[in-house]
Amino acid sequence: MKTLRVGITSYEEMKARSLAIARGRYKPSAGEPKVWFTSAESFARILSNRNRALLRIISESAPDSLTQLAALTGRKKSNLSRTVKTMERYGLLRLRAGARGTLIPRVPYERISLVLPLSRPHPARTKAA
């Protein structure tokens, strides 16, 4: 079962972690989150009930276009397009180019797992293993 691991940390910590990785000072382990949110609120907005239902519909029906997805969900294509593009930026789904400029949405994960350490120091502040 393929699982996307997400974490929550501040923008400053995300930036420090990214810089440490880019400079070769830190190598993330396989179990670390691949996607980061700056707050629990932003995580909850992106993965609202409505958006989780959208991911489920995409996963189960594999629509051939956003037009077909709009028909399946009853949502307007313009709003749907904005939503799926935002979800793609977070790595929650992928958009592939289809025939005649269509976008084909796919969900590459079966689960999303939230990693929320409460007391562990941030990896970018520690020495590389």
Looking at residue 127, what is its pLDDT? 47
Looking at residue 71, what is its pLDDT? 95
| Average of per-residue pLDDT across 45-51 | 94
Measuring CA to CA, how many Å separate 33 from each of 28, 41, 60? Answer: 9, 17, 25
Largest CA distance in the chain: 51
Looking at residue 22, what is its pLDDT? 94
For 93-104, what is each residue's pLDDT tens digit? 999 998 888 999
Question: What is the overall mean pLDDT for the chain?
Answer: 88
Both tokens of 116, joined, read 């929320």
What gap in Å lies between CA 65 and CA 121, rounded to an integer? 43
Q: What is the pTM of this model?
A: 0.80
Which residues, at least 6 apart from 112, have a Cβ–Cβ distance to it below 8 Å?
A: 3, 4, 5, 6, 47, 92
| Average of per-residue pLDDT across 30-58 | 92
Q: Which fold has domain 3-125?
A: Arc Repressor Mutant, subunit A (1.10.10)
